[in-house]
Chain A
């Protein structure tokens, strides 16, 4: 989607145009969901946060600026919702430890079913990604998996572009470590892909 198309889409969204919403929804729903799923590691939670992300878009459509980049805007909302949920759940866990264990925990992701459907390298990457620190995970997902530029991802995460590049590099090293790869060694030498 080039800048002009995006501007006209934003203008139509501001006018509460349903077709413009459909275009954005079809282009970004799966991408935002995949990002949330890998961040939350829980499908029900990712689905809830996805709902909230899209509802926020339509509720705030009138206040979008002309130059709003829709993709980064959606990822920013999704990311903030994830972090907000994470903070709340950490507070709840800390303040009510007696409740822990009474409720079934959210199912872990990737589930055995997801893993069975994936190839060997993909399995290893999914598991290694899911074990990374969330800051590293989001950097890799936004830039490498979702194709945002490091500058766009930096805006999404509320940090400077240089900090994002540094974070990416560290995330890559941490992932290589989880995959038992020396930093910089091609993955295919070990996993035969």
Chain B
């Protein structure tokens, strides 16, 4: 029996050669533009998300660094004051 090998089986060969089918050109174009619309929306959303992440990083990192510097300066001043007996 040769139907374990689809390439040599005549029934399989007939199925492989069945007529192709497609949707009409108008419907295909409409679906294509609908999908492009969804992709465009996703691209825009992804840019917005990236921008929001960047803005957060821009605000949070300097704030943390400033707070750390302020704490460091305060500590130095307190220690200096303790050494000189103030």
> Contacts A16-B46, A172-B9: A21 and B35 contacting too (C-beta < 8 A)?
yes
A177-193 to B contact mask, C-beta < 8 Å, 1/0: 00101011011100001
Name B's interface SS. helix
Is residue A64 contacting chain B, with contact meaning CB distance below 8 A?
A: no
> Which stretch of B21-29, B53-61, B65-73, B75-83 is in the interface?
B21-29
For B, the interface residue count at a CB cutoff of 8 angstroms equals 32
Give chain A residues whose Cβ lies under 8 Å from the Cβ of B12.
140, 144, 172
A37-52 to B contact mask, C-beta < 8 Å, 1/0: 1000000000100110
Assembly CA distance A125 to B18 (angstroms): 8
Assembly CA distance A18 to B38 (angstroms): 10
Taking a contact as CB atoms under 8 Å apart, the answer to whether A117 and B3 are in contact is no
* A121 CB to nearest chain B CB (Å): 6
Interface residues of A (CB under 8 A from B): 15-18, 21-22, 25, 29-31, 33-34, 37, 47, 50-51, 54-55, 57-59, 61-62, 117-118, 121-122, 125-126, 129, 140-141, 143-145, 147, 165, 169, 172, 175-176, 179, 181, 183-184, 186-188, 193
